């Protein structure tokens, strides 16, 4: 089997998970080079990785460059993304800089792998909350065409990065001890709280925060449905890993809950956990460290025809970031798109 030279840009939560997932999936790596702002050694799962400062020349001779910024992080791919592609790398970017760029495929391998054929050297990983939702929605879309989606997300603090995880852990100790919380990653205390704000308000969609707009625009691009009606409310919750979503989806024709359950149980990347009478449904507690999107609470909306409600959960740092990026690389190899 041919092996490939990989450059990883960033060694935070997502970058660390990429290194772990590369090993777990036995990705055919000949060499890994880790780039960041400063030189150092990082020890991950007993393996030492030499980290060197990023530069354009660092991408010479590499097959893949995986940009591992935490969701919303900017900078590295703006500086080096197209430069790396110019030097012959296939760039897979976890950041949001180029997701809506017409030159750049926005890909979830279980949903729209054919988009990879149009790549110009740079491919974007979608937003973490979008990824898990479209994995669950795409099989239903293929079966009965989606007319409208309304989603409320319950997103873990790891989506913000390691500092936010540390902030939740700190507040979990400090607040019960009577110490005043010191919000830094968020505008309010996150322990024992939920915050209906992720990112900032945008003029293009009055009243919507940036994360909600990402879900609207990215879902349309991935499903190839530019006029799809989508509305999102994104909420940060005091969970360390794993995003949860309540999704209401209106279809062009009726699918019963049993039909939807059967379709989803056969779908790639989906695991159905749906026995509510026995309290069986997806929860982030049990999805951490997994790569599937877990779906349950599948039911027919009693208030609207041809409409289903479902609940989906996924590990936002794995399938929502690291694993999806690596699956893109694997798919490109399988499709013969790598020289």
Question: Known catalytic residues?
Answer: 128, 243
Residue 140 and residue 135: Cα distance in Å, rounded? 10
Residues 136/310, Cβ–Cβ less than 8 Å: yes
For residue 41 the two structure tokens come to 């050694």
- Answer for the pair 113, 107: CB distance below 8 angstroms, yes or no: yes
Angle at 96 between CA 91 and CA 100, to 5 degrees: 90
Angle between helices 128-144 and 257-265 (to 10 degrees): 120
Q: Is 46 left (phi over 0), alpha (psi -120 to 50) or beta?
A: left
Give Dmax over CA atoms of the chain in angstroms.
60
At residue 199, the 3 state secondary structure works out as: coil
> 262 phi and psi, to 5 degrees?
-65, -45
Q: How many CB atoms lie within 10 A of CB 46?
A: 5
Residue 334 has a CB neighbour count (10 Å cut-off) of: 11
3-state SS class at 123: strand
Beta-bridged to residue 230, according to DSSP, are 149
Phi, psi dihedral angles at 280 (to 5 degrees): -105, 115
What's the number of CA atoms in the CB half-sphere (13 Å) around residue 104? 23
Transcribe 273-326 into DSSP letters. --BGGGTB---HHHHTT--SEEEEEEEE-TTSTTEEEEEEEE-TTIIIIIHHHH
Alpha carbons 324 and 109: distance in angstroms, whole number: 7
């Amino acid at each position: 089997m041919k092996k490939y030279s990989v450059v990883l840009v960033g060694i935070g939560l997502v970058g660390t998970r990429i290194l772990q997932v590369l090993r777990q999936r036995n990705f055919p790596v000949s060499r890994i080079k880790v780039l960041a702002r400063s030189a150092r050694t990082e020890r991950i799962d007993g393996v030492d990785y030499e980290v060197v400062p990023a530069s354009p020349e660092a991408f010479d001779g590499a097959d893949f460059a995986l940009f591992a910024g935490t969701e919303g992080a900017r900078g590295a791919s703006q500086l080096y993304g197209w430069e790396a592609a110019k030097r012959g790398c296939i760039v897979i970017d976890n950041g949001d800089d180029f997701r809506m760029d017409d030159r750049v495929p926005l890909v979830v391998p279980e949903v729209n792998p054919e988009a990879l054929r149009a790549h110009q050297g740079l491919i974007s990983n979608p937003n973490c909350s979008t990824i898990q939702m479209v994995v669950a929605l795409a099989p239903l879309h293929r079966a009965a065409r989606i007319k409208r989606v309304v989603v409320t997300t319950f997103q873990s603090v790891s989506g913000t990065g390691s500092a936010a995880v540390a902030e939740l852990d700190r507040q979990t100790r400090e607040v019960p001890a009577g110490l005043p919380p010191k919000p830094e990653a968020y505008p309010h205390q996150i322990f024992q709280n939920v915050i209906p704000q992720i990112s900032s308000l945008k003029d293009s969609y009055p009243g919507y925060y940036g994360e909600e707009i990402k879900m609207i625009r990215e879902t349309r691009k991935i499903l190839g449905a530019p006029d799809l009606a989508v509305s999102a409310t994104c909420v940060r919750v005091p969970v360390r890993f794993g995003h949860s979503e309540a999704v209401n989806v209106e279809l062009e024709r009726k699918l019963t809950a049993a039909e939807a359950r059967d379709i989803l149980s056969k779908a790639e990347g989906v695991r159905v956990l749906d026995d509510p009478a026995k309290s069986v449904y997806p929860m982030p507690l049990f999805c951490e460290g997994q790569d599937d999107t877990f779906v349950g609470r599948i039911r027919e909306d009693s208030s609207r025809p041809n409409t289903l409600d479902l609940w989906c959960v996924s590990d936002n740092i794995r399938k929502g970031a690291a694993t999806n990026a690596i699956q893109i690389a694997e798919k490109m190899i399988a499709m013969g798109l790598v020289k």
